[in-house]
Amino acid sequence: MAVKKVFKYGEAVLREPAKEVHKVSKKIHELVQDLLDTMYAQNGVGLAAPQIGVSYRVFVIDTSANDEPLHPIVFINPKIIKKSGAMTTQEGCLSFPEAFIDVKRYKNVTVRALDINGRPFVIEAKDGTLQAKAIQHENDHLDGILFIDHCVNRFDADNILEKYNLPPVEVNKLISEPELENELKND
């Protein structure tokens, strides 16, 4: 297929909730291939359809390490059905070139989705693994949520964004997650 343009922070499509996929058609197969081609070309760990300007609830991840064979996972209409634990971690995003920011995430997530053949599956990602972080990060994109909305410190995030000529954190988009914050305080 093709390597697509990755939309950058500040472009409206990144803030719009994506539409559900009603049929895993040839068009969706082509979208998945474009996502994979683009993700690998950019050395990414994950990529969501809105990041290439397509408003569908589809994302791909591949958390294989350098010496491991590629292991892409396709998520169509994903839904996080369980989450627990809390951690602070540093994240980046292909829509935020070179900017890495400390964010709050769940350590454990369980997600239900359809695969490339339209078959349902469930994945449990535990212990704060890269897979757990990537699933949460990419799933957020489908709801118009960005990783900076989970930032630990808005002012630190703004300084990093400014360094890379990106717009500041949108204060009205910051996500309050009391259960996550309480767990982080108790650690």
Residues annotated as catalytic (active site), given as ranges: 138
Would you state the torsion angle of the CA atoms of residues 171, 175, 180, 181, taken in this order, to the nearest 10 degrees?
20
Query: Which tokens in the block code for residue 29?
Result: 């197969």
**Matching residue, tokens 């757990």:** 132
Cβ-contact 112, 78 below 8 angstroms = yes
**Residue of 6, 8, 19 lying closest to 167 (CA atoms):** 8
Q: Specify the amino acid at residue 118.
A: G
Cβ-contact 56, 41 below 8 angstroms = no
**Matching residue, tokens 């535990």:** 126
